[in-house]
Structure formats: structure tokens, C-alpha cells
Amino acid sequence: MLPVELRIDRAQRLLRMIEQDAPLLAVRVAPLSLECQESAKSHVQRLAALTRAELRRLMKEKAITESSDLIPQAAD
């Protein structure tokens, strides 16, 4: 499994790409029917929402991991 920092970085990059691509998406789907345009835009919105949720989950996981690293452990 990838380290949490790497997974956070990937999620952040994906979210930036989705957000920066919004104007171009409108241009790309313009020739499609209204139904297809709405479907594509809806899919992108769902993907962005899922990515944000995953990012929040990963940030919590990182915080928990870091806080458990700070707790003194008994010596063997």
C-alpha cells in the first residue's frame, strides 16, 4: 500500500485537475446533446465530491497516524 502522504498528493492533484478542467469540459461537451452534457457534468461533479471525501479521510488517517507516533511507547 502507498504511504498516506503519496495518496494525499495524488488526491490533491486529481482534484486540481478536475477543477482546472471545468471550462474546457464545457467546450468539449458542447457538441453533445443536452442530456449527454448534463450526464458528463454530473459525473465530473460526483468524481470531485468523491475525491474531496477521500482527501478528508486521508487527512484524518494521517493525523491519527501522526498523533499515535507522538504517544510514548513502553520499552521492551
Lowest mean pLDDT among 1-5, 9-13, 40-44: 1-5
Residue 35: inside a domain, yes or no? yes
Does some domain include residue 45? yes
Say if residue 12's pLDDT is above 80.
yes
Range of the domain at 16: 4-66
Residue with the bigger pLDDT between 64 and 17: it is: 17
Q: List, as one string, the DSSP characters of 20-75.
A: HHHHHHHHHHTTS-HHHHHHHHHHHHHHHHHHHHHHHHHHHHHHHHHHHHHS----
Q: What is the pLDDT of residues 21-72, one digit of tens each?
A: 999 999 999 999 999 999 999 999 999 999 999 999 999 999 988 887 666 6
Domain-embedded: residue 39? yes
Average pLDDT over residues 3-19: 96
Q: Is residue 26 part of a domain?
A: yes
Residue 44 lies in a domain: yes
As for how many domains the chain has, the answer is 1
Does the residue 76 lie in any domain? no
59 falls within a domain: yes
